[in-house]
Structure 1
Amino acid sequence: MRCLKPMGERIMARDFDRQDAEVRIRIAFMNRYTSLGTPETVRMR
């Protein structure tokens, strides 16, 4: 949860299903940024 906090201190939704969706969106967002920042490794011969 500490990784999700920079996007906002709280989960804004009150309903559990909406909270679940909000957390999933935040995780997808973080995974996208992580993939953009991860270098591609190319095998050299």
Structure 2
Amino acid sequence: MSALKWGPKNIKKADNIDSCPSFKNILLFLFTNILKQISLKLYCFKSHKI
């Protein structure tokens, strides 16, 4: 039981210290990718419309 209790706490601490910046980076990466895809689709739509 003590090992099970220690595990999640340790994981949460690791997440707070290490994963927060990388999580923000991942969100930024996804956001920029989505923006690129949207702009590409808009560009294709405009070029096809013409």
TM-score normalised by L of structure 2 = 0.48
Moved over 2 A (4+): none
* Matched residues, number: 27
User: In the alignment, which of 27, 36, 39 is matched to residue 34 of structure 1?
Assistant: 39
TM-score, normalised to structure 1, is: 0.53
Aligned counterparts, 1:1-45, within 5 A: 15-39=20-44, 40=47
**Cα displacement (A) at 1:38:** 0.7
Identity of aligned pairs, percent? 0
Could you tell me which runs of 5 or more consecutive residues in structure 2 were left unpaired when the two chains were aligned.
1-18
**Whose helix proportion is higher, 1 or 2?**
2
User: What is the alpha-carbon root mean square deviation over aligned residues?
Assistant: 1.7
Higher relative contact order (CA 8 A, sep 6+): 1
